[in-house]
Amino acid sequence: MSRTILKGGMVLTFINEAYEATKIQESDILIDNGLVEEISPFIQEEQGDEVVHIPGQMVIPGLINAHNHTLTTAVCRGMTDDYNRENYGGSALYTRVFPLKRIALEILNEEEIAAILKMALVEMIQSGATTVGEQCTGKEFGIFVDLVDELGIRASICPMYTSGEHLPELKETGKIDIGERKKEMEVLEENIRLYEQYQGDGEGRVEIWLGPHAPDSCSQELLMETARAAEELDTKIMIHLAQTRIELDKIRERFGSTPVEYLDKIGFLSSRVVAAHGLFTNNEDQKIIKDNQVNIVHCPQVFVKGGMIAPFHPYMEKEVTVSLGTDSYAMDMMAEMRMAALVGKLHTQNAHSVTASDAFFAATVGGAKAFGRSDLGRLVEGQKADITVIDMQKSHIQPVAIPVINLVYHVNAADVSYVFVDGKAVKTPQGIVSGDDRKIVDDGKVVSEKIWAAARQEGVL
């Protein structure tokens, strides 16, 4: 692998466990064999096979999108915004998101699925993300793995399974239905088979996790067997936790407890669990999460669209590991960082309760901790060379007094110039390295419109 020098950039990262982003002014970075070999004020150009000059640009660790459903981007963008959710537990999941995803998987061939997944992943890369935690819904799993390899990114992937025949949808009776209970251990066995087939793909950039959907859509037996299998395989579990009021009501009705209390009682919770959302939790729930070293993925933007505020500061003050995810759309991690900081302030009515450094930490170090990756999330010698470079010489960013503040509150995805994963450029100022940006978007649009047309015929839209 060639040696690359990034020359003349301003490095912004975290040192040790500090939550204050540290600026390293005008430094060069030498990348060798996929790792950061040296960061210093001056590195001789002769030491590199390739030199990328980036004066006036900011260099940060690659952002980690810790929870996402890539298929949703093309299926639901514009279809769930401003949607009336009042009668559905405050959620569009059961009446829009899951039905649209089901339709997509029923009518699309593999090439069409690849087109919409690729469009969404390109959006993620363009916003500076280098790693994604992906929960697939169905037959797109192998397609997603292939795209990770093609685009050169890093991913932890799992299927999203339930104890029923399908994902929850709202039936005419007004009740949530997941279909007839099936031989549920078969879905876990399939997840294990996927682990055995794909773990370590993409030159080691692919990890396979286990993916139960949520406490209310998976039986106690399935959840307990999932926890046992994760321990045996030494892998992580991605699950939705305390995501909707419907989930709270169902668990309270069945077990007389909150979802967090329930999972704690059955021994499911541990540091292996990467729990998305944690929206409807109380102080005791949050203590349980902390005591079990559960990782919370904060996805503020999708909930703000539904008129809800996802908690960030309550977890931070209890020293729970918090990472950031986009969940569905947009797959823009720059926008997600900004939303996390702004909504965090609004939630506490305190301007300093959630800072730019907190949001940046969650998008980098927090994600690395959640993924169990001590080699990601920071820019220090010996770390993986997952790097994002941002052109700071723009009127909406300048002047720069405190770099992390400008990064979180003023940088847009369009300001990202380079993205490197394992030291290889996956995005340059000319676009995505592995394809034509315009063609990728055009192909994805055609498929999205096909899904919407089918949904209108069915009455979903």
Rounded average pLDDT over 42-62: 96
Contacts of 259 by beta carbon, 8 Å cutoff, 6+ apart: 214, 215, 216, 241, 242, 247, 248, 251, 280
3-state secondary structure of 254: helix
pLDDT in tens, 422-436: 999 999 999 999 999
Give me 55's structure tokens: 């004066």
Higher pLDDT pick, 90 / 448: 448
Angstrom distances, CA of residue 291 to CA of 215, 262, 445? 19, 15, 45
Reported as a pLDDT band with limits 50, 70 and 90, residue 4 is very high
Tell which residue, 89, 88, 116, 91, has the closest CA to residue 103. 116
Reported as a pLDDT band with limits 50, 70 and 90, residue 83 is low
Q: What is the mean pLDDT of the chain?
A: 93
Instruction: Work out the number of other CB atoms within 10 angstroms of the CB of residue 412.
Output: 15
If 0-12 CB within 10 Å is exposed, 13-18 middle and 19+ buried, where does residue 253 land?
exposed
Contact 336, 301 (CB under 8 A): yes
If 0-12 CB within 10 Å is exposed, 13-18 middle and 19+ buried, where does residue 199 land?
middle
pLDDT of residue 20: 82
pLDDT of residue 16: 74
Contact 432, 123 (CB under 8 A): no
Can you list the domains of the chain with their CATH numbers? Answer: 4-60+386-432 (2.30.40.10), 63-370 (3.20.20.140)
Q: What is the DSSP string of 330-398?
A: ---HHHHHHHHHHHHHHHHT-TTTS-HHHHHHIIIIIHHHHTT-TTSSS-STTSB--EEEEE--STTT-
Contact 300, 358 (CB under 8 A): no
Residue 166 has pLDDT above 90, yes or no: no
Rounded average pLDDT over 265-270: 98
pLDDT of residue 160: 93
3-state secondary structure of 451: helix
Cis peptide before 399 (omega within 30 of 0): yes
Distance CA 333, CA 336 (A): 5
Distance CA 406, CA 14 (A): 16
Distance CA 117, CA 78 (A): 17
pLDDT in tens, 207-255: 999 999 999 999 999 999 999 999 999 999 999 999 988 899 999 999 9
Higher pLDDT pick, 25 / 237: 237
pLDDT of residue 85: 58
Give me 406's structure tokens: 């400008």
Backbone φ and ψ of 313, nearest 5°: -60, -40
Residue 290 has pLDDT above 90, yes or no: yes
Reported as a pLDDT band with limits 50, 70 and 90, residue 170 is low
Tokens 């981007």 belong to 73
pLDDT in tens, 292-346: 999 999 999 999 988 889 999 999 999 999 999 999 878 999 999 999 999 999 9
pLDDT > 70: what percent of the chain? 96
Q: Where are the alpha helices (DSSP H) in 167-272?
A: 185-198, 201-204, 220-233, 245-255, 259-265
Angstrom distances, CA of residue 16 to CA of 26, 188, 379? 21, 38, 11
Question: Any idea of the CA torsion for 297, 207, 4, 332, to the nearest 10 degrees?
Answer: -30
Tell which residue, 8, 105, 125, has the closest CA to residue 65. 125
Rounded average pLDDT over 72-79: 80
